[in-house]
Chains A and B, each alone.
Chain A
Amino acid sequence: MEQAGFRDIRWGTRVDVFSGSAHESDAKDFGTLGITIGGRKPTQRG
């Protein structure tokens, strides 16, 4: 995200979103989590 030029990256919630689903086992193998993330485009480049 920083490579795309974003700043002020902030993480929100993390949820075990595949818990209880058919994908749960594979998801656990890779520590997969549902997340929210935000950021801001600078007002000026640089």
Chain B
Amino acid sequence: MTEQVAPARVDRDALRRQISDKYRAVALDPQSGFHFHTGRPLALMLGYDPAEVDALPPSAVESFAGTGNPLSLGRLRPGETVVDIGCGAGFDTLLAARQVGPGGRVLALDMTDAMLEKARLGAEALGLKNVELRTGYAEDLPVASGFADVVISNGVINLTPDKLAVMREIARVLRPGGRFQIGDIIVQTPVPQDAKDDIDLWSG
């Protein structure tokens, strides 16, 4: 049996602005302290390989704010096409780009320009030519249907008010037989509707 989850009743544009402001701060001032963990300690908590983390540009690591390790569900295969939704400073994007190799590609999307700039600099620092960055929203991906072999995302879908719309977009951009590998959060106690509808609770 599948439970229908009602979307939160929030102003989507206002929520996007508030979340983007928060993650702009994570990009520009990652040491300032947030209500969630960030950076290398978080990556190790989530089970990323320390050697792989340390091989990434510090700028990508310091602004990492994921909630899981999508790549722990299985390594990406050489030549695969990947979409990274909410790529942030490029932490998972860069790991994915290395896994798929020069014959593959990673299309990384984020709504926060400061994060996209850090991801761009990270790809440049590693000499990765198979990374493309675009501004975009999870509910309306600027990606052709059937484009991707794999969609990854980390700590992003919980920040969107309509999860089902996001999952339908993921299904749209995946080729038949494609897969998603996502890190995110779950709650084990139902969140009251009035709390879901309070925009100030979304980004802390």
Q: Please report A residues at the B interface, Cβ cutoff 8 Å.
A: 1-6, 10, 12-15, 17-18, 20-23, 29-44
Complex interface: chain A residues within 8 A of B204 (CB)? 22-23
CB distance from A41 to the nearest CB of B (A): 4
Q: Which of B37, B177, B183 contacts A36 (CB 8 A)?
A: B183
Bound CA span A17–B2, Å: 26
Does B197 interact with chain A (Cβ within 8 Å)? no
* In the complex with contacts A15-B45, A31-B187, A21-B176 CB distance below 8 A: no
The reply to whether A32 and B186 form a contact with Cβ atoms under 8 Å apart is: yes
The reply to whether A12 and B73 form a contact with Cβ atoms under 8 Å apart is: yes
The reply to whether A29 and B189 form a contact with Cβ atoms under 8 Å apart is: yes
Chain B residue nearest to A23 (CB atoms) is: B35
Complex interface: chain B residues within 8 A of A15 (CB)? 45-47, 67-68
6 interchain pairs (CB within 8 A)?
A4-B168, A6-B180, A14-B186, A34-B46, A40-B179, A41-B171
Q: How does the 8 Å CB contact mask read for B92-134 relative to A, with 1 for contact and 0 for none?
A: 0000000000000000000000000000000000000000000
Does B167 interact with chain A (Cβ within 8 Å)? yes
Does B181 interact with chain A (Cβ within 8 Å)? yes
CB distance from A13 to the nearest CB of B (A): 6
Complex interface: chain B residues within 8 A of A41 (CB)? 171, 174-180
Q: Chain B interface: which size bin?
A: 35 or more
The reply to whether B180 and A17 form a contact with Cβ atoms under 8 Å apart is: no
Chain B residue nearest to A18 (CB atoms) is: B36
The reply to whether A36 and B186 form a contact with Cβ atoms under 8 Å apart is: no
The reply to whether A30 and B189 form a contact with Cβ atoms under 8 Å apart is: yes
Complex interface: chain B residues within 8 A of A44 (CB)? 176
Bound CA span A3–B72, Å: 25
Complex interface: chain A residues within 8 A of B187 (CB)? 30-32
Chain A residue nearest to B177 (CB atoms) is: A43
The reply to whether B74 and A3 form a contact with Cβ atoms under 8 Å apart is: no
Does B70 interact with chain A (Cβ within 8 Å)? yes
Q: How does the 8 Å CB contact mask read for B155-174 relative to A, with 1 for contact and 0 for none?
A: 10000000010011011001
The reply to whether A33 and B185 form a contact with Cβ atoms under 8 Å apart is: yes
